[in-house]
A and B are shown apart, each in its own frame.
Chain A
Amino acid sequence: MSLAAEAFVSQMAAAEPWPESATLYQPLKEDQILLSDCASSLAVQAYLRMCGLPVQVVCRANAEYMSPSGKIPFIHVGNQVVSELGPIVQFTKAKGHSLSDGLDDVQRAEMKAYMELVNNMLLTAELFIQWCDDATAAEISRPRYSSPYSWPLSNVLAYHKQWEVKRKMNAIGWGGKTLAQVYEDVSQCCQALSQRLGTQPFFFNKQPTELDALVFGHLFTILTTRLTSTELAERIKSYGNLLSFCRRIEQSYFEDKDKSS
């Protein structure tokens, strides 16, 4: 399909309202999903709930390969498939749902900068701990990642994924880092977020934005996921306002909905 035709199709799709049948795909919740994927998936779910857009979560063992970008999660809305938080935010915006419309240009730039910080620091740290820390990789990541497959394919896929992540880490200069350095990076990132949040309910005062969804997705997942060491969660727990931020979002966007449904 040509670019023009593709643009036309997405325009047409934008005109259609959000359907009830929208679906979010992620790997198997119990046996397969890893910390970083779970965090990204939760961030998208939080964002859609903040927008008030209903979405049904479906677990598939091959979610990673179904995704057009190879990243988790992705949503299937009408006949459109969109993956990752950034493009999903763009997609909902085209349909007339946006959380950041009330922000001015400076605030929007600030929001983008903090989102980049979370993606570059927290997400990368999660990937580093999952795949570059040998204990975590051997005990948690490889067995969980390969759980849907039978031997010897399970080993091939798990080691291939690990090799891929390590290569990426080397490319962005994280290859030589130690675990302690990564924890220190996470602390710094959390400190920056904590300072920005201050005593406000959300990062930009009264109204949640996609930054709130992204931070919540990562922090909440780190706090509730059991790893080989509790160090990562401990680092976050030292920032009280981030903890209450997570609790607040969980209560207002997840618990109420669950009760009413």
Chain B
Amino acid sequence: MGTVHARSLDPLPMKGPEFGVQADDIEAADIEQEPKQEVLENKDVVVQQVHIDGLGRTKEDLLTYEIAEVFRAKNLIDVMRRSHEARQKLLRLGIFRKVEVVIDTSRGEDALPNGLDVTFEVTELRRMTGSYNTMVGNNEGSMVLGLKLPNVFGRAEKLTFQFSYGTKETSYGLSLFKPQPGHFERNISINMYKVTGQFPWSSLRETDRGVSAEISFPVWKTSQTLKWEGVWRELGCLARTASFAIREESGHSLKSSLSHSMVIDSRNSSILPRKGGLLKIHQELAGFTGGDASFLKEDFEIQLNKTLFWDSVLSASLWGGLLLPIGERPTSIADRFYLGGPTSIRGFSMYSMGPQSEGDYLGGEGYWAGGLHLYTPLPFRPGRGGFGDLFRTHFFLNAGNLCNLNYGEGPYAHLKKLAECLRWSYGVGLVLRLGNIARLELNYCIPMGVQSGDRICDGVQFGAGIRFL
């Protein structure tokens, strides 16, 4: 019997665990040899040895967990299937540039007649990879330097450092990620960062310096994350003309918070999914572990997708959140919710609705937003099967509200307050999918239910982002 190459895919993009394994890319993973199954399935085989060639820094004990399943294979198809799964697992670790699988008959003294040897030929990523790019935006240009050590201690630990030097602001972030051997979904990560953001819609500048530690693990079909974060936040006015309400928020504060988030994601892709749903629940308790800010924040996101006729997809989403201050101190502008803009309620300017003071938006303590989309392929489907598949046309209907809640009134009054003065908009647009992480939208929007003080964007609106309503 000759060698069978199970190599069928390009390696996964080395994005690490942040974006998860992309279901879209793995769909083709079904073994192509289906017709031959009947012939080979009956043939009993024993996997005698599994080799991994090409290891340098990587510790072998880490890999034994990933390839253990290959030994359990009983027939050739099984060997191929399990080898393929093992290969996916190895690639998911984010430490190999490529992994090839070679299955061969056993040789040597104690070789059984039906014995097989499986060899994984791996190429490790470099010890250190770097990147640099320049960015322009928000009236500022910046240079971003990135440094990544994909396999620092030999067990798939990843150390990343990012430094952004701008004409106005400097930011950096250092992060260490470590998965549990054999259970990649169970991992811990420790981060340290300084980020500066300018928010012209609030005339606010915010500088955050923080440390955080988080642990992620799967439970049943969900992915759970527990996190502690300590942030020193410095708020200031963006201009001398900022409203006094923003001036009053200026200064330093320390937030120490515990948060939990849960995600169930059965969608086939995170951008432009065709089927499945998403449920995300996030809750944050600040002040319990020290610091100046104390509040309880609850936030959820639901999305459901269904494929209809002619490849069109109906997608419905609902977001909501509540921020409850604990104690005397009112909530900080940095913790409140913002709504509006091309990524949430289209037809309104970016984060420009709800409570405001002299044109500076202050954010709200409660919000909800819902969206209904009908995605269809481009009319007459140009570029079908290739470039054209990155595009969709969509019809949308967005609605939502953002306001402050007076916490003496009881839950019924809160619901009533969120239901009155409803903002909504509808329109049509073009969506471009960028890889599997972001999308661009060009929409014609008609905003409705505009309240006094809201800033609208009537007509054509362009949007880019990662998270969309």
Q: Which residues of A contact B (CB under 8 A)?
A: 1, 6, 60-62, 64-66, 68, 76, 79, 81, 149-153, 156-157
Please tell me if the beta carbons of A62 and B244 are within 8 angstroms of each other in the complex: no
Distance of A183 Cα from B174 Cα, bound (Å): 48
Report the nearest B residue to A153, measured CB to CB. Answer: B254
Distance of A151 Cα from B230 Cα, bound (Å): 11
Please tell me if the beta carbons of B250 and A65 are within 8 angstroms of each other in the complex: yes
Distance of A150 Cα from B251 Cα, bound (Å): 14
Distance of A204 Cα from B213 Cα, bound (Å): 65
Please tell me if the beta carbons of B250 and A150 are within 8 angstroms of each other in the complex: no
Chain B residues within an 8 Å CB radius of A79: 244, 358
Distance of A156 Cα from B233 Cα, bound (Å): 12
Chain B residues within an 8 Å CB radius of A151: 290
| Shortest Cβ gap from B163 to chain A (Å) | 22
B44 at the interface (CB under 8 A from A): no
Chain B residues bordering chain A, tally (CB within 8 A): 19
Please tell me if the beta carbons of B254 and A150 are within 8 angstroms of each other in the complex: yes
Please tell me if the beta carbons of B244 and A81 are within 8 angstroms of each other in the complex: yes
Chain A residues within an 8 Å CB radius of B244: 76, 79, 81
Distance of A50 Cα from B250 Cα, bound (Å): 31
Q: List 8 A-B contacts (CB under 8 A).
A: A65-B235, A65-B236, A76-B244, A81-B240, A149-B252, A150-B254, A153-B292, A156-B232
Please tell me if the beta carbons of A149 and B292 are within 8 angstroms of each other in the complex: yes
Report the nearest B residue to A160, measured CB to CB. Answer: B252
| Shortest Cβ gap from A22 to chain B (Å) | 13
Q: A1-B239, A81-B244, A153-B232 are in contact. Are A65 and B290 (CB under 8 A)?
A: no
Given contacts A65-B236, A66-B248, list 10 more A-B pairs with CB under 8 A: A1-B239, A6-B241, A65-B235, A66-B247, A66-B251, A76-B244, A150-B291, A152-B254, A153-B253, A157-B252
| Shortest Cβ gap from A84 to chain B (Å) | 14
Please pick, from B241, B252, B254, B291, the residue contacting A65 in the complex, using a CB distance under 8 A: B252
Distance of A149 Cα from B252 Cα, bound (Å): 8
Q: A68-B240, A79-B358, A149-B292 are in contact. Are A61 and B251 (CB under 8 A)?
A: yes
Please tell me if the beta carbons of A1 and B241 are within 8 angstroms of each other in the complex: yes
Distance of A64 Cα from B236 Cα, bound (Å): 11
| Shortest Cβ gap from B99 to chain A (Å) | 46
| Shortest Cβ gap from B238 to chain A (Å) | 12
Distance of A64 Cα from B234 Cα, bound (Å): 13
Cβ-closest 9 pairs across A and B: A62-B251, A65-B251, A153-B254, A65-B250, A66-B247, A66-B250, A1-B241, A150-B254, A68-B240
Chain A residues within an 8 Å CB radius of B251: 61-62, 64-66
Distance of A6 Cα from B240 Cα, bound (Å): 10
Q: Which B residues from 117 to 146 make CB contacts under 8 A with A?
A: none
| Shortest Cβ gap from B330 to chain A (Å) | 13
| Shortest Cβ gap from A141 to chain B (Å) | 17
Chain A residues within an 8 Å CB radius of B254: 149-150, 152-153
Chain A residues within an 8 Å CB radius of B241: 1, 6
Distance of A157 Cα from B292 Cα, bound (Å): 14
Distance of A151 Cα from B232 Cα, bound (Å): 11
Chain A residues within an 8 Å CB radius of B290: 150-151
| Shortest Cβ gap from B237 to chain A (Å) | 8
Chain B residues within an 8 Å CB radius of A76: 244
Distance of A107 Cα from B202 Cα, bound (Å): 47
Chain A residues within an 8 Å CB radius of B232: 153, 156
Distance of A4 Cα from B229 Cα, bound (Å): 45
Chain B residues within an 8 Å CB radius of A152: 254
Q: A76-B244, A79-B244, A81-B244 are in contact. Are A153 and B252 (CB under 8 A)?
A: yes
Tell which of B232, B241, B251 has the most Cβ of chain A within 10 Å: B251
Report the nearest A residue to B244, measured CB to CB. Answer: A76
Chain A residues within an 8 Å CB radius of B291: 150
Please tell me if the beta carbons of A62 and B239 are within 8 angstroms of each other in the complex: no
